[in-house]
Amino acid sequence: MLKNCVEHSPKGGEVNVVCAQNGIYTEIEMSDAGDGISKKDLPHIFERFYKGENASHESVGIGLALSKSIIEEDNGTVTVDSSERGTVFRIKYMAF
């Protein structure tokens, strides 16, 4: 996810990573100020081998699917919000 934020940020743009923890969960938020993920692609970005319209030529469409699988295997969740002002990925692990 961080790699995607870096790749889709404009030259000289910022990528932000914020971590927060409380008694209920730990959250990691990664955001960029890129063009965002198209509404057509957004429901599919975590599918294996899916390549969105802005994917690089080197992409095989496995990174986000693999990341989500690993996070969920470790009892976490991952969500994404995107608009023309950028994309935000949130990873959340519940405290046990």
Tens of pLDDT, residue by residue over 22-65, are 999 999 999 999 888 999 999 999 999 988 777 777 778 889 99
Name the more confident of 9 and 88.
88
**b/e per residue, 3-36, with b = 16+ CB within 10 A?**
ebbebbbeeeeebeeeeeeeeeeebbebbbbbbb
Tell me, what's the pLDDT at 80? 96
The gap from C-alpha 1 to its chain's centroid, in whole angstroms, comes to 4
Average pLDDT over residues 89-95: 95
Cβ-proximal residues to 65 (8 Å cutoff; 6+ apart), any chain? 46, 47, 48, 49, 50
Mean of pLDDT values over 63-89: 94
Domains, the chain, ordered by start: 2-94 (3.30.565.10)
